[in-house]
Homo-oligomer: A and B are copies of this chain.
Amino acid sequence: MTIQDAGAARPAGRPRSEKAEKAILEATLDLIGEGMGISELSIEAIAARAGVGKTTIYRRWSNKEDLVVDALATLKAPVPPLAGESVRDDLVTLLDQMRDESGHVRTKCVMNIALSESDRYPHLFEKFRKIAIEPRRAAMRQVLERGMASGELRSTLEIELAMAILTGTMVWFTKWGDTSDRGPELAEGIVDQVLAGIAP
């Protein structure tokens, strides 16, 4: 206090390694992406994968859940740019992005957590929903509302239901669908079918 107290307010001693921190979060996401459940995730395994001592992890996070939360927080939800001309095309873009990402390791993190551990780690899931789910939901909701205003969609549409149909269907396909029909035309097929309905 006598000398200076500039914004940084750096504590004495060697500063924590940002590289180590990054490696830890990276390793955590990698292990989750490889199909490891949260409960099987061990600090020792993370430390080994990150090339880091266990101490370095415990110094930063007091428990596993906090670490996983921070790791998930580094995941962005890259909502694709939407042309904004046709509601149908924008929906296809949104769904196709889901399909496209379903092959990525990081997306598997997301899916594994969301699908399996949502009720066992509610706090974690809540955090995760905010950063990964809500942005996409908001984008889709906006498109649907635009469609209702423009007349491209029924004005009486229940938005929540429509979102569940579109999202649920794509998730179902990426998880259990035949791998052969995973092309970009899958999103088109879903959207067109949902738009038109299956009744004649």
Contact = CB atoms under 8 A, between A and B. Distances in A.
A175 interface: yes
A198 B162 contact: yes
Q: How many copies does the complex hold?
A: 2
Interface residues of A, number: 45
Given A154-B200, A169-B168, A200-B151, A161 B193 contact: yes
A35 interface: yes
Tell me which of A118, A175, A196, A197 has the highest count of chain B C-beta atoms within 10 A of its own C-beta.
Answer: A197
Interface string A166-187: 0111111101111001000000
A164 interface: yes
A151 B119 CA distance: 43
A51 to B, nearest CB: 25
A189 interface: yes
Nearest to A167: B172
30 contacts: A35-B119, A37-B37, A37-B40, A37-B116, A115-B116, A115-B175, A116-B117, A118-B175, A152-B199, A153-B200, A157-B198, A158-B189, A158-B193, A161-B190, A164-B169, A164-B173, A164-B177, A165-B169, A165-B193, A168-B169, A168-B171, A168-B172, A169-B169, A194-B197, A194-B198, A195-B197, A195-B198, A195-B199, A196-B197, A196-B199
